[in-house]
Amino acid sequence: MIGWWLLWLAVSQTTVNIAVPPSPMAVLHFVLLLSAFAAGFAFTRLTYRAPASIGRNGIVALPAGTKKLQWIVYGLGLLATLLLLVSLQRSGAFTTSFLDYFAKLRMDTQEDGALTGIKTLDTLSKLFGFPVSYGLILLILAFGVRSFRLGLAICVLNFGLFCYLWQVNYPIIHLFWLTFFYLVSRFVDGAPIDRRVLTGLALACGLLVLSAMNRFGSEDDQLFGAVQHYVVGYHLIGFSFYDFQLADPNSILHTHSFGRSSLGFLDQLVEHASRVIGVDYVAASSENSNYNDTAVSIGATQALEFNAFGTLAFTFYRDLGVIGIALGGFLYGGAIAYGLLNLRRSWMAAGMFYLLASTWMMGMMVSPVEQTYFWFCLVFLAVVGLASRRWSIFPPPRGRRARFPSALRGEAPVRQHAIPMDNDDYRPMQSADKKHAHS
C-alpha cells in the first residue's frame, strides 16, 4: 500500500507528469505521511495482542441467512435504487442523448437542485444513494458474498446509476479496489477465488476505461488519451496541486482547522444542523471543497488548469500542519492494521478494513476522509453493530445462542473448530460423541 504511493510519487518527478513536479518540500510532506502510516501500522501490529489466528472461519456463527438481515440488505439496496431511478428520470437522463446529458452535467454550472429540479432529491442522491450502497457492500464482503449475491448485484447497479446520474467515475474506482482487497483477503485465507468475482473485477476495469474514453471523442489516440489522463494523470496531479497550495501563503491550506477537516461528513452534519437553527457555521471540509474547486494553472510545459485534487496530505496539513500529517498518517495506518488483524474475527473490523484500504489507494487523488461516504460508512457499520447487540436483529441460528453469544457483538465465536461448507459459509464441527449419538 505504501509502495503504491511511492510509485506515483516517483513518477511525478519524471516527464510523464504533465503538471509541474512537486517541490522537495512537498515530497518530504508525502514521505512523512507514508512514514507515519508505516509507524502506525507497525505499532498496532506490535502492541495489539489479537486472539489466536482462526482464519476465515472467524465469522462462523454470523447468521447471514436470517430474514431480518436480508430485509436490511435488500430493503436499503432497493430503496437506494428507487431513489436513483427517480433522480435519473427527473434529470432527463432517459430522454436526453448520452453526449447531451454529459455536456449538461460536466460543462454547465450546476446549482443546488438544478439537476432534478428538487434540491432535497439532489442532496438525497448524494447522501443516501451512493453511501448506503457502499455501506451495504462492506457488510456483504464482511459476511460473505455467497449469501448475498443478489444484494451485491443491486448495490453494484446503484454504483452504475450514480455514476451516470452525476457523470462521475470514482464509484467504479472504489469498486475496483474493494474487489481487489476482497480477492487478496481470500487468497491469504487460502480460500478458492470465485471466477465470477474475477469477472466482476475485469468488468469494473472495462467500465472505468470506457468511461474515461468517453471524454476523448473519437480520435485515434482515444484509448491512450484516456489512460494518460484518467489513470496516470489522476494519480499525479494531486502531488503538484498540493505543492501549489503549500507554496501559496494565502492558501486556505495554511489556515488550520484543528481536526475539523478530518471529520468530514460529521462536521457537515453540524453545518446543516446550524442552518436549521439560523447559526452561520461552515464545515471545514465544505470550505476545502469550495476552495479547491477553483482551478489553478500547474501545467509543466503549457497552461493547464486543475482543481478538486485535495489529497490526504492536504486534509491533515490543513488540520494541524506537519504535526497533523504525522498524526493523521499514524492513526490511519494503525486503523488499517487493526482491521487487518481482526479481518476474520469481527465483521465490523472486516468492513472497516475494506473501506480504509480501498480509500487509501485513492488518497493521492482526493481526500477520502472529507467525503460523505467515508464517515457515513463507518457510522453505518457502528449502527448495525449496535443494533445487533441491543435489539438482536441478527439472532444466531436456533440452538447456537448459548454457544456463540459473541456473534451478536460482531466478534468471532469462542469455539474455533470448523470445517468448510462452501466458498463462503462455515459451520461448527460436531464432537465425536454427538456423531455417535446420532448414529
Q: What is the 3-state secondary structure (H, E, C) of the chain?
A: CHHHHHHHHHHCCCCCCCECCCCHHHHHHHHHHHHHHHHHHHHHHHHCCCCCCCHHHHHCCCCCCCHHHHHHHHHHHHHHHHHHHHHHHHHCCCCCCHHHHHHHHHCCCCCCCCCCCCHHHHHHHHHHHHHHHHHHHHHHHHHCHHHHHHHHHHHHHHHHHHHHHHCCCHHHHHHHHHHHHHHHHHHHHCCCCCHHHHHHHHHHHHHHHHHHHHHHCCCCCHHHHHHHHHHHHHHHHHHHHHHHHHHCCCCHHHCCCCCHHHHCHHHHHHHHHHHHCCCCCCCHHHHHHHHHCCCEECECCCCCEECCCCCHHHHHHHHHHHHHHHHHHHHHHHHHHHHHHCCCCCHHHHHHHHHHHHHHCCCCCCCHHHCHHHHHHHHHHHHHHHHHHHCCCCCCCCCCCCCCHHHHHCCCCCCCCEEECCCCCEEECCCHHHHHHHC
Q: Report d(CA 88, CA 94) in Å as an integer.
A: 7
User: Residue holding cell 487478496?
Assistant: 184
For residues 86-97, give the mean pLDDT. 89
More confident residue, 326 or 301: 326
For residues 293-315, give the mean pLDDT. 79
C-alpha cell read off for 340: 487487518
Lowest mean pLDDT among 26-35, 67-76, 157-166, 175-184: 67-76
- Confidence label for 435 from pLDDT (cuts 50, 70 and 90): very low
Q: Where do the domains of the chain lie? A: 2-296+306-415
- Confidence label for 222 from pLDDT (cuts 50, 70 and 90): low
Q: Say yes or no to pLDDT of 390 above 70.
A: no
For residues 148-167, give the mean pLDDT. 89
Residue type, 280: D
Q: Say yes or no to pLDDT of 76 above 50.
A: yes
C-alpha cell read off for 417: 473448530
| pLDDT score at 229 | 66
| pLDDT score at 434 | 42
For residues 318-346, give the mean pLDDT. 93
Q: Taking a C-beta distance cutoff of 8 angstroms, is the pair 122, 171 a contact? A: no
Q: Taking a C-beta distance cutoff of 8 angstroms, is the pair 148, 73 a contact? A: yes
For residues 155-161, give the mean pLDDT. 91
More confident residue, 397 or 4: 4
- Confidence label for 302 from pLDDT (cuts 50, 70 and 90): low
| pLDDT score at 22 | 93
CB atoms within 10 A of CB 74: 15
For residue range 257-285, list pLDDT tens digits in order.
Answer: 999 999 999 999 999 899 889 888 999 99
- Confidence label for 145 from pLDDT (cuts 50, 70 and 90): confident
- Confidence label for 168 from pLDDT (cuts 50, 70 and 90): confident
| pLDDT score at 216 | 54
Q: Say yes or no to pLDDT of 370 above 50.
A: yes
Q: Say yes or no to pLDDT of 410 above 70.
A: no
Which range has the top average pLDDT, 216-220, 235-239, 374-378?
Answer: 374-378
For residues 93-109, give the mean pLDDT. 77
Mean pLDDT score of the chain? 79
For residues 206-215, give the mean pLDDT. 63
For residues 329-338, give the mean pLDDT. 96
For residue range 23-68, list pLDDT tens digits in order.
Answer: 999 999 999 999 999 999 999 999 988 665 444 444 433 455 567 7
| pLDDT score at 301 | 67
Q: Say yes or no to pLDDT of 396 above 60.
A: no
For residues 58-86, give the mean pLDDT. 75
- Confidence label for 348 from pLDDT (cuts 50, 70 and 90): confident
Percent of the chain scoring above 90 in pLDDT: 40
Q: Taking a C-beta distance cutoff of 8 angstroms, is the pair 126, 373 a contact? A: no
| pLDDT score at 226 | 60
What residues pair up with 237 in beta bridges, in sequence order? Answer: none
